Amino acid sequence: MKTLLTVLLASVAFATPALAQKSPETVAPKFEHVIPNIPGKSLVSAEVTFPPGATSLPHHHAKSAFLYVYILSGAIESQLEGEPARTYRVGDSFFEPPGAHHVQARNLSATEPAKILAVFIADSDEKALTTYDHEGHKQ
- Report the alpha-carbon distance of residue 35 to residue 42 in Å, rounded: 5
pLDDT surpassing 70 at residue 14: no
Burial bucket for residue 15 (CB in 10 Å: 0-12, 13-18, 19+): buried
Instruction: Kindly indicate the confidence band of residue 75, based on its pLDDT and cuts at 50, 70 and 90.
Output: very high
Tens-digit pLDDT profile for residues 53-72: 999 999 998 999 999 999 99
Mean pLDDT of 80-99: 96
Say what the pTM is: 0.81
Report the percentage of the chain scoring pLDDT > 70.
79
pLDDT value of position 127: 79
Q: Which CATH class is domain 4-132?
A: mainly beta
117 residue type, one letter = L
- Per the prediction, the chain carries an average pLDDT of 84
Contact (Cβ atoms closer than 8 angstroms) between residue 1 and residue 42: no
Instruction: Kindly indicate the confidence band of residue 22, based on its pLDDT and cuts at 50, 70 and 90.
Output: low
